């Protein structure tokens, strides 16, 4: 008898219901569908320059508490209505967290935050949260990390990010080429732009790759390419990249590579030197560039929650509405930053 040569370090395989089963159990409502369709259409018009509003994606670094997520969404929806003639506001609804080494991987992977990795419940919970937020009329933005997850949730997403750690991945570029919404590629963690520029070229092209279909069957996925891809500048390598000079340099690299507005600024991460309290300053400086006529700017992303700061897991009860991953600005600061931007945008010619 020959020795086993495969799955030697695999503990188990647990069956997972196909995407179609989850979608059937938690169907897309008419109200949620209308929000998704409108959100994607507005973003496409913004990318092309036909819609001149500033795009802002605001929300928690990661979602861990469904109650707090809906609470935040209700507040953001009210704010969206107040600023909608000048700002196109979406909610950051992130369920997957890439880790530099190890750590909590997000609500989909570990919804109970105890290492039990109840992914079945995580997918159900994530879909439920997206359904409720979209039903409010609040378009959702997320990062897709695991290439299988979009089959379960992407019908509820208006904008998607490919993160700094995965922008160089061929798997994620191929996935983006088939996604139904606009996709932003973040620059590399060292601050380099070339991997994101290459990713945009790749994602615009047709691809064929191995994946799964709606029934959960292994399949050859053939895509048309995604024309709605763009850059997200997040700093890196100890430097920010949102200054006027940085934007000019990025524009030169992008020359002729797509629609008019291809640059989004992430106010967190390297652009705030990983200090969440500096995000408003970044936000304000970028808004001033936009007001001054920088047409390449699509918008901004800001990490925001109900309570400012962050908290560590495993140290007693959690503070309601506070991040368990990166530090976020609090709700009052979020409201102030957006309303100030709204007033300043009224000066734009």
- Give the pLDDT confidence of 9-59 residue by residue, as tens digits: 999 999 999 999 999 999 999 999 999 999 999 999 999 999 999 999 999
Place of tokens 């959100």: 39
What was the pLDDT predicted at 315?
Answer: 79
Report yes or no on 278 lying in a domain: yes
Residue 110: the pLDDT is 97
Residue 30: its H or E element: helix 30-48
Whole-prediction pTM: 0.96
Q: Does residue 2 fall inside a structural domain?
A: no
In a domain, 32, yes or no: yes
The DSSP bridge pattern shows strands 208-212 and 218-222 to be antiparallel
pLDDT of residue 100: 79
In a domain, 31, yes or no: yes
What is the pLDDT, as a whole number, of residue 202? 98
Mean pLDDT of the chain: 96
CA–CA dist 193, 199 (Å, integer): 10
Query: b/e string for 127-152 if b means 16 or more Cβ within 10 A?
Result: bebbbbbbbbbbbbbbbbbbbebbbb
pLDDT over threshold 70, residue 349: no
Q: Determine the Cα–Cα distance for residues 300 and 254; give it in Å rounded to an integer.
A: 18
| 245 occurs within a structural domain | yes
> What percent of the chain shows pLDDT beyond 90?
93
Domain extent at residue 277: 19-44+52-345
Run of H or E residues at 23:
helix 19-25
What CATH number is associated with residue 137? 3.20.20.70
Q: Given this model, what pLDDT does residue 101 score? A: 84
pLDDT for the residue 316:
82
Q: What is the pLDDT of residues 125-181, one digit of tens each?
A: 999 999 999 999 999 999 999 999 999 999 999 999 999 999 999 999 999 999 999
Q: What's the rounded Cα separation, in Å, for the pair 64 and 93? A: 10
Number of domains in the chain: 1
4 domain residue, yes or no = no
Buried b (16+ CB within 10 A) or exposed e, 262-293: bbbbbbbbbbbeeebebbbebbebbbebbbee
Q: Say yes or no to pLDDT of 183 above 70.
A: yes
Residue 3 lies in a domain: no
Does the residue 67 lie in any domain?
yes
- 328 and 304 in contact (C-beta within 8 Å)? yes
Q: Please check the confidence at residue 1 and state whether its pLDDT lies above 70.
A: no
DSSP secondary structure, 247-281, as one string: HHHHHHHHTTSS-S--EEEESSGGGGTT-GGGHHH
- What are the tens digits of pLDDT across the range 253-286? 998 766 789 999 999 999 999 999 999 999 999 9
3-state SS, residue 241: coil
Q: What pLDDT digit, counting tens, does each position of 296-308 carry?
A: 999 999 999 999 9
**pLDDT mean over 314-330:** 94
């Amino acid at each position: 008898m020959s020795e086993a040569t495969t799955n030697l370090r695999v503990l188990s395989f647990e069956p997972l219901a196909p995407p179609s089963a989850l979608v059937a159990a938690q169907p897309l409502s008419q109200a949620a569908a209308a929000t998704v369709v409108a959100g994607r259409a507005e973003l496409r018009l913004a990318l092309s320059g036909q819609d001149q509003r500033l795009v802002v994606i605001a929300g928690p670094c990661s979602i861990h508490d469904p109650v707090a997520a809906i609470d935040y969404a209700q507040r953001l929806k009210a704010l969206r209505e107040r600023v909608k003639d000048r700002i196109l506001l979406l909610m950051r609804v992130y369920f997957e967290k890439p880790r530099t080494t190890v750590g909590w991987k997000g609500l989909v992977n570990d919804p109970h935050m105890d290492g039990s990795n109840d992914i079945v419940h995580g997918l159900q919970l994530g879909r439920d949260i997206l359904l409720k937020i979209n039903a409010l009329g609040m378009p959702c933005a997320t990062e897709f990390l695991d290439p299988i997850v979009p089959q379960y949730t992407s019908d509820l997403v208006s904008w998607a990010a490919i993160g700094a750690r995965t922008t160089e991945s061929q798997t994620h570029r191929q996935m983006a080429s088939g996604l139904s919404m606009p996709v932003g590629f973040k620059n590399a963690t060292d601050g380099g732009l070339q991997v994101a520029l290459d990713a945009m070229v790749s994602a615009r092209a047709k691809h064929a790759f191995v994946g799964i279909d709606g029934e959960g069957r292994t399949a050859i996925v053939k895509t048309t390419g995604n024309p709605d891809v763009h850059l997200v500048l997040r700093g890196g390598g100890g430097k920010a990249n949102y200054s006027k000079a940085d934007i000019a340099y990025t524009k030169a690299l992008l020359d002729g590579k797509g629609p008019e507005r291809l640059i989004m600024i992430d106010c967190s991460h390297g652009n705030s030197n990983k200090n969440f309290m500096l995000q408003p300053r970044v936000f304000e400086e970028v808004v001033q560039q936009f007001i001054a006529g920088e047409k390449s700017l699509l918008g901004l992303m800001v990490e925001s929650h109900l309570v400012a700061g962050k908290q560590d897991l495993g140290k007693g009860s959690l503070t309601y509405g506070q991040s368990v991953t990166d530090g976020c600005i609090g709700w009052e600061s979020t409201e102030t930053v957006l309303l100030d931007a709204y007033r300043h945008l009224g000066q734009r010619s």
